[in-house]
A and B are shown apart, each in its own frame.
Chain A
């Protein structure tokens, strides 16, 4: 009944109200074109030029075609292509933080929404787990640095317990540096994800759980058969936003390692690499790196979108149908 009504409305609207659609979306596109699209094109344009500063003298811009890209992808003596190394660093550190982030968030969201568990003091728990998200990434990393530095308390404590010796340095081991970065990302974001996922679970009709319970499904089955498929759309939203954040990873490793990406540049991210050239006003190379990040984003985004959008549409359609039935 409702659907029919809507369809009718749509027909009317398309005649008289279409221009309002354009008017309403115009500010978005004007702002987007000025502040993002034009800069985006300029960035791509720059990537084909040799243009940098030597002291106070501007060198270039001289058109060099694809030279900047060639420089980016020329392997070093022992075969590393640095931009790919930084891309791998970024992804590894993101995944190391995102996996626990999503697992814990799903778990907590289930805890909070479970009527059987009926958790008391939910408000306080939810407020607290979201709080790390409020701290500036830079300030958070500074705190971490003071905790884990050579003269910090954790070093002293672990030495006392005999876990590490006096020469141990958290900042000269790949696993510890990456671990710290992943841990920080996890702490900053798991609360946020929990709350959003919880919203998703609460949006699922209780009738479905009841129906599943009547059919004799246990809680694991309910989760995989009912909750997860219906949670897919919101999970897509969370994954995509998390991935965007992951690719942009900058403040945390930058401040934690004071811009060095130690050890051996294994905690250096793509944006740290980009920022190095940006700050030196080497716009040619910075442009080329930006384009590469853009392409990497496109590929990753495409994959995520492709894998999940099928389920997304399916889930959404099913869900809407069910809702219709209930009404």
Chain B
């Protein structure tokens, strides 16, 4: 028996070696070849990692791919951190990958961009001749820069966020639907809470998700999720959000649905009973498709105002991957979506975007004839957003934000639905943190 096992093992090893050898040889050869080409010309394959199709749509419409170049989109869902996992694997393998399989460009969100910016897997944009323009919002540059100020990418959007309210419901609850007057009635959280009570009395909900106001609080935090000793910490803004939500759930001012749940988005149909939604310009396309439904939607019944507290939410950065052999194309793409005024204008007019270009933004903000009619009642939303955008600061972010924000909301949702008490919900959150990030210390 021992002998047979030895024979089997030997055969297995041989098989392994053969497999290994042939593979190693197979991949090393093309690499040498392409490296020679690299010095003389640009690569023929351009690989982009993304978590959804938003940017892909703009890219295909507004960017002309150089002749002979194939663009590959590798799209993995962001939910639960899948996108980050797949991207990390590919980046860690970047060095060994054949040139045509190397990532050239990848997208990152505000919640975890730091992880990639402060690594060697991203490339200084000046190394291929791109210059940040004065027309870009400072915070978008800061987010894409290392602590020493080396910039690794750009954002094609700026994401000041507002309160998006249903005019007809505001009229019923507040007696007015004029943005300035509505704003005056909800310009602090105390007032907002008071209006929530009025809305409830009239049979409406103030918000449609327990987590709807989360970003308005969390983006005003004065300390990051994790301190310098890797201890988890709760900012006052986070606790304020939890207190508010406890109160809203208890009084029935909001629903137990999550931000992305159907139960919430159904509230945007014509017969919805919810007055306020919280979001930036991209929210129109992402979350408000029900409002745009031809039969059951309510286009034109919406306006935006600053609300109780200025904040921003999300944003998509384009980061240059170290090892890309398509640097000319990178530069070209970055310029198209940041300094090309024609494209940036189209992003406003055709795509409901708020671009990262102050010249274009100012043009629309000061244009009396411009108004958003695809969702809003013709209000100049660019004007409102441009006021809010001035104050956005980039601070107190960690690499862990996405999964910590997501986890906190998921675990608390069970409490709001009444299936666990608050202590258990928090204990489950701490366990989740421990499982997700072994290096973060949680309170016992």
Q: Is the CB of B8 within 8 A of A29?
A: yes
Give a binary string over B394-420; 1 marks a CB under 8 Å from any A CB, 0 the rest.
000001000000000010001001111
- Using C-beta atoms within 8 Å of the partner chain, give the interface range for chain B: 35 or more
Q: Is the CB of A34 within 8 A of B12?
A: yes
Q: In the complex, which of the residues B121, B418, B444 contacts A56, with contact meaning CB atoms closer than 8 Å? A: B121
Kindly identify, within residues 50 to 79 of chain A, every residue whose CB is under 8 Å from any CB belonging to chain B.
50, 52-56, 59, 76-77
Least CB distance from A259 to B in Å reads 6
Q: Is the CB of B439 within 8 A of A59?
A: yes
Q: Is the CB of B92 within 8 A of A262?
A: no
Contacts of B293 in A (CB 8 A): none
Q: In the complex, which of the residues B88, B261, B410 contacts A260, with contact meaning CB atoms closer than 8 Å? A: B410
- Please give me the residue from chain B that is nearest to A146 by CB atom: B262
Q: In the complex, which of the residues B119, B263, B419, B438 contacts A52, with contact meaning CB atoms closer than 8 Å? A: B438
- Please give me the residue from chain B that is nearest to A177 by CB atom: B419
Contacts of B427 in A (CB 8 A): 76-77
Q: In the complex, which of the residues B8, B81, B399, B437 contacts A30, with contact meaning CB atoms closer than 8 Å? A: B8
| Interface residue count on the A side (C-beta < 8 Å) | 39
Contacts of B262 in A (CB 8 A): 149-151
Interface of B is mostly: helix
Q: Given A264-B424, A285-B438: A34 and B119 within 8 A (CB)?
A: no
Q: Taking the complex as formed, is A314 at the interface, i.e. its CB lies under 8 A from any CB of chain B?
A: no
Q: In the complex, which of the residues B91, B261, B266, B436 contacts A280, with contact meaning CB atoms closer than 8 Å? A: B436
- Please give me the residue from chain B that is nearest to A38 by CB atom: B12
Least CB distance from B373 to A in Å reads 29
Q: Taking the complex as formed, is B9 at the interface, i.e. its CB lies under 8 A from any CB of chain A?
A: yes
Least CB distance from A266 to B in Å reads 9
Bound-complex Cα distance A82 to B430 (A) = 13
Q: How many cross-chain pairs have Cβ atoms below 8 Å apart between A and B?
A: 89
Kindly identify, within residues 119 to 162 of chain B, every residue whose CB is under 8 Å from any CB belonging to chain A.
119, 121
Q: Is the CB of A56 within 8 A of B92?
A: yes
Q: Taking the complex as formed, is A169 at the interface, i.e. its CB lies under 8 A from any CB of chain B?
A: yes
Give a binary string over A29-59; 1 marks a CB under 8 Å from any B CB, 0 the rest.
1100110001000000000001011111001
Q: Is the CB of A282 within 8 A of B438?
A: yes
Q: Is the CB of A55 within 8 A of B119?
A: yes
Bound-complex Cα distance A172 to B417 (A) = 7
Q: Is the CB of B12 within 8 A of A150?
A: no
- Please give me the residue from chain A that is nearest to B92 by CB atom: A56
Least CB distance from B321 to A in Å reads 12
Q: Taking the complex as formed, is B222 at the interface, i.e. its CB lies under 8 A from any CB of chain A?
A: no
Q: Is the CB of A26 within 8 A of B263?
A: no
Q: Given A33-B8, A149-B262, A262-B419: A54 and B15 within 8 A (CB)?
A: no
